[in-house]
Amino acid sequence: MDKILNWGLLSTAKINQALIRPLTSSKRTRLLAVASRSQSSAESYAREWKIPRAHGSYESMLADPEIDVVYNSLPNHLHAEWTIKALRAGKHVLCEKPIALTLAEVDAMIQAARETGKVLAEAFMYRHHPQTLKVKELVDSGVLGKIQLIKGAFTFTLTREGDIRSKKETGGGSIWDVGCYPISYARMIVRSDPVKMFGWQVESETGTDDSFYGQMRFENGAHAQFDSGFKSPDRSRIEIVGTEACLTIPDPFKPGMNSEILLSRGGKMEKIKIKGGMLYMGEVDDMCDAILNNKAPRVSLADSRGNVGTILALLESAQLGKPVSVTRG
């Protein structure tokens, strides 16, 4: 039987709730601790979610010798700092997306993972879901023909005043929060990074993007278009257009226990039903496989670096008001 990995939650962020059920359901994991900036906050959270240990500082949890894996759900601008500290404290790290806000930060994180020999992976939960794996299988089978276009959208209406996703200094903005998903999806389908990008943004009062509209061209001739935003109705969709058929994924980023994708070819529409699973269980299982079975994480650090680089290039394009070309070495 595999060793049971003890997990610690680095912060009391709302997104933690998505991990708690998988961590308490898996036979290979134990949710042992939570850390907050105060002891009272940590203890309150621990009581609410029946977590055995409460640490009143992040440093305290990293010093806990029984913690094997840290889930870093801190605000975007703190991902690099605390992931590196956790790795150097001997912990494996599952870091929320986006893994970091600059390529220098990503490179420092990759270097720390190499030097410590610990597993570091970015928490793009949709990448592990059976629906996504089925989409990849269909694309790779050639049923769509040559991929011409990937269109994606991820928007919702953000109504809470002062939400951290609206703060520039913490890495806010719709492209970092939700735009990263259709960007990641397109790159996954094409299996490379775009070489030319054009971005437009609608800025908020705080200087972040309330809405972002992007286009990407890949070296193989495929194109991608996406939009993300905090001022539009709930929208979540991917369409993949090939020379032979089109595939529509109505709920690509948060698929459920059962889902359905649509394959259109020869004037006919085929509904493909997929038996899913607990959305966040896949990334937990992937970390366990990487740590216990020496299996490469499904979302590689090179992949994560490519996503951050693409986002930065799109933001640069929006600022300059012209396309940005990227040379891939």
Based on the fold, state whether residues 314 and 170 are members of the same structural domain.
yes
**Is residue 40 domain-shared with residue 94, that is, in the same domain?**
yes
Do both 25 and 138 map to the same domain? no
- Segments of the chain scoring below 70 in pLDDT: 1-2, 328-329
Q: Are residues 103 and 170 in the same domain?
A: no
- Has this prediction a pTM greater than 0.75? yes
Same domain? 146 vs 90: no
Confirm whether 260 is domain-assigned: yes
Confidence at residue 1, expressed as pLDDT on a 0 to 100 scale: 52
Examine the domain organization and report whether 182 and 143 are in the same domain: yes
Q: Do 220 and 266 sit in the same domain of this protein?
A: yes
The DSSP line for 64-122 is: -TT--EEEE-S-GGGHHHHHHHHHHTT-EEEEESSS-SSHHHHHHHHHHHHHHT--EEE
What is the extent of the structural domain holding 258? 127-281+308-325
Domain tally, the chain: 2
Could you report the per-residue pLDDT of 38-66, keeping only the tens digit for each?
999 999 999 999 999 999 999 999 999 99
| pLDDT (0 to 100) of residue 163 | 86
211 lies in the same domain as 186: yes
Reported as a single tens digit per residue, the pLDDT across 117-135 is 999 999 999 999 999 999 9
User: Distance between CA 47 and CA 55 in Å, rounded?
Assistant: 12
